Structure 1
Amino acid sequence: MNLLLQTSQSDLQAQIAVTGSKSETNRLLLLQALFPNITLANTSNSDDSEVMQKALKGKEEIVDIHHAGTAMRFLTAYFAVNEGREVVLTGSQRMTERPIKVLVEALQQLGAQISYEKEEGYPPIRIKGQKITANKVSIPANVSSQYISALLLVAPKLQNGIELTLVGEITSIPYIKMTLALLNDLNIQTSFEGNVIKVYPKQEVETKVMTVESDWSSASYFFSLAALSNEASIALSSYKETSLQGDSALVEIYSKMGVETHFEENKITLVKTPNFNFESVNFDLNNTPDIAQTIVVTCLGLGIGCHLTGLHTLKIKETDRLEALRIELTKLGANISVTNDSLTLVASKEINSNVKIATYNDHRMAMAFAPLALKVPIIVENAEVVSKSYPDFWNDLENLGFQISEI
């Protein structure tokens, strides 16, 4: 499905309910599988979370998680400690190209039985669930934080918990802290000192309702819309001023790009700062790589330059996001260069119109480029990919006055 996006709106006013955080939901779904007396509220309606839920409840030997990277990492750990269960964990063509070796080797250090069905280091993998008694393991600190969170989430059910040593400089600390905070909410004891994380065993937790905060990554597109508008007052629910999600850094980042964030009860309101003086921006996104695409597209729309660093994990996402950004932004007329872990955009006032944006089966490519329709008509190819994390995205844009037509 290719969509033409255009709008004559320059004043954006709306109230939008954003679905629960995919990151929190998938962590809590795994914890609920380990501790069935937990009840969840405001869970994500994303494809990824639905795939995760189906895999945890299913009894099949072959578990196909399609494009859901978080599910691949979390379920690898879950099935490794699910004593007596044997599964083959697989996914889409792109998933079979995304590395899993670091996590597999960490689980094998603990005594897990995991083997590769095809190419070593990549799915599909065969997992024979074991009782795990070893508790000391090390893992490179600069890998995807999902590998680390996968180990931490299953740790309470291990006979001796886990003592995890992170080797090197740690990436995406907010996501690790989110995992530990959710464990702490269930009165599971943890510690994180220096490069060593400990999670202590706990066989049962008390009955509890866990409410998922709305997704800050999804909110990023509305920050971009507010920045690119002439005037904006966009209310989003449900958000907390003290969030577990690293992408809540959007509040500070977009304050430097002309957007004020007002917190009130359980919502935020994004307001365009009048007469804001725009300048080129530099951000280290080591802790928040998922919002890089949104930020660079915003900068293109504002006609300002940017230099973004800390992006090394983007190469192993749904697509190589750095290369995808280089290709698509160049089509729009941008002067952009990328390295293995950084991106530089040169300021320019010209944007090519009616450009077809390829999405590479990546939900964030589709949503990050959509706000540019405030400046020029654009065409988003395979627009249905948004269902991976935000199925209602196009409807919510229409509520903001966008004209969206299938072509």
Structure 2
Amino acid sequence: MNLKLSHISSIENKTLQITGSKSETNRLLILQALYPSIKIENVSNSDDSELMQKALLSNELIVDIHHAGTAMRFLTAYFAVKDGRETVLTGSKRMQERPIKILVDALRQLGCKISYEKQEGYPPIRIQGTKPIANQVELQANVSSQYISALMLIAGSLPNGLVITLKGKVTSVPYINMTLSLLKDVGVKGTFEDNVITIQPNNTNLNKNVVVESDWSSASYFYSIIALSDNAEVTIGSYKQESYQGDSSLADIYKHLGVKTTFGQNSITLTKSNVATKFPEELNLSNSPDIAQTIVVTCFGLGIGCYLTGLHTLKIKETDRLEALKAEIEKLGGQVTITQDSLRLEPMTLLNKDISIATYNDHRMAMAFAPLALRTDLFIEDANVVSKSYPDFWSDLKKLGFKVS
């Protein structure tokens, strides 16, 4: 489905409820599968979380998780310790191009039995479930945090727990801390000190009720909308000031782009502010790479430049997000330079009209570019891709007064 977003001059002040965080939900679903007495509220209605739930309930040999990258990593670890269960874990064509070797090698260190069905290092993989006795594993610290979180999530169910030693400089620390915090919330004890993560074994029932906070990366699109508007206010829930999500750094970053964040009881109110400060000369997003696309598009819409670093993980997401951003912004008249881990946007005021934005099977491409309808008419190709993380996105935009056809 292709959508046309017609230029609008202003938005309506509204209150919106955002679906639960995909990142938190998927972690908690794995923990619930390991400890069935856990109850979860405000579960994400994203495709990824629905695919995760379906996979965890499946008794089939072949489990297909389509585009769900988090599910691929978390389920690799989960099925690897499902003693006596054989599983072939596969996904979409793009998923079969996304590396899994680092996690497989780490699980093999523990004694797990995993082999590749096609290309070495990539899905699909065949997993012979076992119950590892080993409790020590080492891996590089700069890998995707999802590999590390996958190991952390299964650690409490292992007979001797797990000690994960990270070698080098750790990236994506907030995602590791999120996993650790959620483990503690359900009753699994662990620490993260000096590049060593230690998770204690826990083989008791965990009668816990956990409420999932709404997704901060989904909130980023409303930060962008407020930044690009002349005078607007939007309240979105459910959010908390002491968030586990690294993307909550949006509140500080968008001060520089003219957005004030006010925390309520269980929500945030975003207000247009005319006291925007100078945007940082360099912004390191290694702790929150998922908001990079939104920030770049906001800056482009405002006609200001930006230099973002710490983006090395964006090249192995649903698409190569750096190449995709460069291609689509240049269609609109912008100028972008990328490296393996950075992006520089030159300050520009020109936005070409009626440009069709390709989304590359990437939900964040569709949603990041949508706020530009406050500046120009544009088309979003394959707009249904938003269902991966935020199925209600287009209907929520309509509530704000966006013309979507």
TM-score (norm 1): 0.98
Task: Report the residue type matching 1:232 in the other structure.
Answer: A
Q: 2:142 aligns to what?
A: 142
Task: Report the residue type matching 1:69 in the other structure.
Answer: G
Show the 5 A alignment for 1:247-286: 247-274=247-274, 276=276, 279=279, 281-286=281-286
- 339 and 256 in structure 1: CA distance in 2 versus 1, 3 angstrom threshold: same
Q: 1:236 aligns to what?
A: 236
- 374 and 238 in structure 1: CA distance in 2 versus 1, 3 angstrom threshold: same
SS across alignment from 1:180: helix
Contact 1:12/1:229, CA 8 A, preserved across alignment: no
SS across alignment from 2:121: coil
Q: 1:164 aligns to what?
A: 164
Contact 1:258/1:278, CA 8 A, preserved across alignment: no
SS across alignment from 1:67: coil
Q: 1:13 aligns to what?
A: 13
Residue 155 of structure 2 is aligned to residue 155 of structure 1: yes
Q: 1:383 aligns to what?
A: 383
Contact 2:91/2:123, CA 8 A, preserved across alignment: yes
Q: 2:397 aligns to what?
A: 397
How large is the RMSD of aligned CA atoms in angstroms? Answer: 1.0
Deviation at 1:10, TM superposition (A): 1.8
Contact 1:366/1:383, CA 8 A, preserved across alignment: yes
> Percentage identity across aligned positions?
62
Task: Report the residue type matching 1:130 in the other structure.
Answer: T
SS across alignment from 2:232: strand
Q: 1:291 aligns to what?
A: 291
Deviation at 1:8, TM superposition (A): 2.4
- 259 and 312 in structure 1: CA distance in 2 versus 1, 3 angstrom threshold: same
C-alpha distance in 2, partners of 1:321/1:140? 23
Task: Report the residue type matching 1:207 in the other structure.
Answer: N
Task: Report the residue type matching 1:359 in the other structure.
Answer: T
C-alpha distance in 1, partners of 2:160/2:182? 20
- 278 and 373 in structure 1: CA distance in 2 versus 1, 3 angstrom threshold: farther
C-alpha distance in 2, partners of 1:317/1:205? 35
- 189 and 275 in structure 1: CA distance in 2 versus 1, 3 angstrom threshold: closer
Contact 2:38/2:186, CA 8 A, preserved across alignment: no
Q: 1:199 aligns to what?
A: 199
Q: 1:341 aligns to what?
A: 341
- Tell which deviates more after alignment, 385-394 or 186-195: 186-195
C-alpha distance in 1, partners of 2:390/2:50? 12
Q: 2:180 aligns to what?
A: 180
Q: 1:301 aligns to what?
A: 301
SS across alignment from 1:43: coil
Q: 2:50 aligns to what?
A: 50
Task: Report the residue type matching 1:230 in the other structure.
Answer: D
Stretches of 4+ moved more than 6 A in 1? none
Deviation at 1:182, TM superposition (A): 0.7
What does the per-residue CA deviation read over 1:19-61, in whole Å, with 9 as the maximum and x for residues that have no partner?
0000000000000000000011000000000000000011000
Contact 1:9/1:402, CA 8 A, preserved across alignment: no
Contact 1:226/1:232, CA 8 A, preserved across alignment: yes
C-alpha distance in 1, partners of 2:280/2:162? 44
SS across alignment from 1:157: coil
What does the per-residue CA deviation read over 1:318-346, in whole Å, with 9 as the maximum and x for residues that have no partner?
00000001111110110110000000000
Q: Provide structure 2 residue ranges, at least 5 long, that are not aligned to the other structure.
A: none
Task: Report the residue type matching 2:348 in the other structure.
Answer: S
Deviation at 1:186, TM superposition (A): 1.9
Deviation at 1:377, TM superposition (A): 0.6
Q: 1:77 aligns to what?
A: 77
Deviation at 1:168, TM superposition (A): 1.1
Show the 5 A alignment for 1:344-355: 344-355=344-355
Deviation at 1:131, TM superposition (A): 1.2
Show the 5 A alignment for 1:215-234: 215-234=215-234
Deviation at 1:278, TM superposition (A): 5.5
- 254 and 275 in structure 1: CA distance in 2 versus 1, 3 angstrom threshold: closer
Residue 89 of structure 2 is aligned to residue 89 of structure 1: yes
Q: Provide structure 1 residue ranges, at least 5 long, that are not aligned to the other structure.
A: none
Task: Report the residue type matching 1:122 in the other structure.
Answer: Y
C-alpha distance in 2, partners of 1:275/1:72? 43
C-alpha distance in 1, partners of 2:158/2:87? 19
SS across alignment from 2:384: helix
SS across alignment from 2:247: helix
- Tell which deviates more after alignment, 65-74 or 199-208: 199-208
Deviation at 1:158, TM superposition (A): 0.5
Task: Report the residue type matching 1:65 in the other structure.
Answer: I
